[in-house]
A and B are shown apart, each in its own frame.
Chain A
Amino acid sequence: MSTAQVAQTKGQAVTAAPRGTPQSPLEATSKRTRWVVALLLVVALLWTLVPLLWMLLSSFKNRTDVTSATPQLLFGPTLDNYRNLFTGSNNLWPYILHSVLAAGISAVLAVGLGALAGYGLARTQMRGKRHLAFWIISTRMAPIAAVVVPLFIIFRGIGLIDSIPGLVLAYLTFNLPFAIWLMSAFFAEVPPSLEESALVAGCTRWQAFHTVILPLTKSGLVTTFVLCLVFAWNDYAFAVVFSGPNSQTLPIAASQLVTQTGVDWGQLTAIGTIVVVPMMLAGLAVRRWLVTGLTLGAVTGE
Chain B
Amino acid sequence: MTHAADYSSAIDRSTRPKATAPREPRLGFEGKMMSPGLLLLAALSIVPFLALVAMSFSHVRLLGGVRLDLVGVTNWVRFFTDADMWMSWLRTIIYFVLTVGLEMALGVGIALCLFRVLRGRNIMLSLLLLPMFAAPSIVGLLGRYLTDSTFGLYAWVLRSLGYTGDVLGSPVSAFAAVVLMDVWEWTPLIALITLAGLSSVPQSVREAAAVDGAPGWMTLRYIIFPAISNVLLVALLIRSMDAIRYFDIIWVTTNGGPADATKIVPVRLYETAFRFFDLGYAAAIGLAMLAFSIFIARTFVRLLDVRGLTR
- Within residues 155 to 190 of chain A, which ones have a CB less than 8 A from any CB in chain B? 156-157, 169, 172-173, 176-177, 180, 185, 188
Establish whether residues A122 and B311, one from each chain, have CB atoms under 8 Å apart when the complex forms: yes
For residue A147, which residue of chain B has the nearest CB? B48
- Within residues 115 to 167 of chain A, which ones have a CB less than 8 A from any CB in chain B? 116-126, 130, 132-154, 156-157
Which residues of chain B are within 8 angstroms of A93 by Cβ–Cβ distance?
A: none
Q: How many A-B residue pairs have CB under 8 A?
A: 330
A16 contacts the other chain (CB 8 A): no
Establish whether residues B192 and A48, one from each chain, have CB atoms under 8 Å apart when the complex forms: no
Establish whether residues B211 and A116, one from each chain, have CB atoms under 8 Å apart when the complex forms: no
What's the minimum C-beta distance from A142 to chain B, rounded to whole angstroms? 6
| Given A144-B266, A173-B45; A272-B141 close (CB under 8 Å) | yes
B110's partner among A44, A177, A237, A271 (CB-CB below 8 A) is: A44
Establish whether residues B273 and A301, one from each chain, have CB atoms under 8 Å apart when the complex forms: no
What's the minimum C-beta distance from B180 to chain A, rounded to whole angstroms? 10
Which residues of chain A are within 8 angstroms of B195 by Cβ–Cβ distance?
A: 302
Which residues of chain B are within 8 angstroms of A180 by Cβ–Cβ distance?
A: 37-38, 41
Establish whether residues B133 and A230, one from each chain, have CB atoms under 8 Å apart when the complex forms: yes
B146 contacts the other chain (CB 8 A): yes
Establish whether residues A26 and B207, one from each chain, have CB atoms under 8 Å apart when the complex forms: yes
B297's partner among A24, A138, A172, A236 (CB-CB below 8 A) is: A138
Residue among A116, A176, A295 with the highest chain B CB neighbour number at 10 A: A295
Establish whether residues B37 and A116, one from each chain, have CB atoms under 8 Å apart when the complex forms: yes
A254 contacts the other chain (CB 8 A): yes
Which residues of chain B are within 8 angstroms of A120 by Cβ–Cβ distance?
A: 29-34
For the complex, give the distance between the alpha carbons of A296 and B197 in Å: 15
For the complex, give the distance between the alpha carbons of A143 and B241 in Å: 8
Which listed segment binds B: A67-75, A79-87, A216-224? A67-75
What's the minimum C-beta distance from A273 to chain B, rounded to whole angstroms? 9
The A contact surface, by secondary structure, is helix
Establish whether residues B30 and A123, one from each chain, have CB atoms under 8 Å apart when the complex forms: yes
B134 contacts the other chain (CB 8 A): yes
A265-300: CB near B (< 8 Å → 1, else 0) gives 100110110011001101110010011001111111
Establish whether residues B52 and A70, one from each chain, have CB atoms under 8 Å apart when the complex forms: no
Which residues of chain A are within 8 angstroms of B270 by Cβ–Cβ distance?
A: 145, 148, 237
| Given A26-B210, A48-B127, A302-B199; A295-B136 close (CB under 8 Å) | no
Establish whether residues B52 and A295, one from each chain, have CB atoms under 8 Å apart when the complex forms: no
For the complex, give the distance between the alpha carbons of A156 and B48 in Å: 13
| Given A26-B206, A48-B128; A299-B309 close (CB under 8 Å) | yes
- Within residues 201 to 254 of chain B, which ones have a CB less than 8 A from any CB in chain A? 203, 206-207, 210-211, 216, 231, 234-235, 238, 241, 244-248, 251-252
For residue A143, which residue of chain B has the nearest CB? B289
Establish whether residues B199 and A151, one from each chain, have CB atoms under 8 Å apart when the complex forms: no
For the complex, give the distance between the alpha carbons of A37 and B210 in Å: 18
B51 contacts the other chain (CB 8 A): yes
For the complex, give the distance between the alpha carbons of A49 and B188 in Å: 12
Establish whether residues A255 and B19, one from each chain, have CB atoms under 8 Å apart when the complex forms: no
For the complex, give the distance between the alpha carbons of A139 and B44 in Å: 9
For the complex, give the distance between the alpha carbons of A122 and B37 in Å: 14
For residue B21, which residue of chain A has the nearest CB? A199
What's the minimum C-beta distance from B18 to chain A, rounded to whole angstroms? 9
B126 contacts the other chain (CB 8 A): yes
For the complex, give the distance between the alpha carbons of A271 and B144 in Å: 15
A141's partner among B60, B246, B293 (CB-CB below 8 A) is: B293
| Given A68-B151, A185-B310, A275-B135; A236-B193 close (CB under 8 Å) | no
CB pairs A–B below 8 angstroms (24 shown): A25-B210, A33-B116, A38-B117, A41-B113, A44-B106, A44-B110, A117-B33, A119-B30, A143-B244, A143-B286, A146-B269, A148-B270, A149-B273, A150-B49, A150-B283, A156-B62, A176-B40, A180-B38, A180-B41, A192-B19, A255-B141, A290-B129, A294-B193, A298-B238
For the complex of A and B, the 7 pairs showing the least CB-CB separation, nearest first, are A117-B37, A146-B286, A120-B33, A120-B34, A234-B135, A113-B37, A150-B51
Listed in ascending order, the chain A residues whose CB lies under 8 Å from chain B are 24-26, 28-29, 33-34, 37-38, 40-41, 44-45, 47-52, 54-55, 58, 66-71, 113-114, 116-126, 130, 132-154, 156-157, 169, 172-173, 176-177, 180, 185, 188, 192, 196, 199, 205-206, 209, 230, 233-237, 240-241, 250-251, 254-255, 258, 265, 268-269, 271-272, 275-276, 279-280, 282-284, 287, 290-291, 294-302
